[in-house]
Structure 1
């Protein structure tokens, strides 16, 4: 994948996260504050815990940091998969955000 292809796909992920936060805040009382600076989004939950998602252009990866740890994702041709076999990015983000918000939350592409 070229750097341009990576940036297009990675940018789509960040936009999907921002849109999902807006939808979740409209449809629930989760109250997720999402702040974006360049290639990084910080999600802050009501309990002050955070999830940070950032782009790693040199590695063509997306990194996710949550209370449970840090995770790296690479595009496999159809979706962003954890480099250590822990699953797909949006499914993992949904689990982590649900745990930190204390209620079921769904993020998707």
Structure 2
């Protein structure tokens, strides 16, 4: 994937996350600034999603830890263990919101 393709793909993923969060019943405030999407919850906690362009990775930082994902065979797979980006992000958001949340892969 070229850098331009990665940026386009990650922009679409950020927009997908923001759109999904616009539809939830719990109080959440997503804020995108450049390569970072900061998701702030009512209690002040945050989940941070950012893209690391040099490695073409998406990163998640949450209470549960920090995770890196790379596109492999059409899925964003954890580079340091097991897991998939959308499932792991869903779990992190649900944990912070203390409410069910599922983000499907677009």
Q: TM-score surpassing 0.5?
A: yes
Q: Which has more strand, going by share of residues?
A: 2
Cα distance, 1:77 vs. partner? 3.0
TM-score (norm 2): 0.93
TM-score (norm 1): 0.91
Q: Provide structure 2 residue ranges, at least 5 long, that are not aligned to the other structure.
A: none
Deviation at 1:5, TM superposition (A): 1.5
Residue of structure 2 equivalent to 1:9: 9
RMSD: 1.0
Aligned to 2:50: 54
Indicate the SS of the match to 1:11. helix
Alignment match of 1:39 (pick from 24, 35, 39): 35
3-state DSSP class of the match of 2:31?
Answer: strand
Aligned residue-pair number? 105
* Among candidates 73, 80, 85, match of residue 84 of structure 1: 80
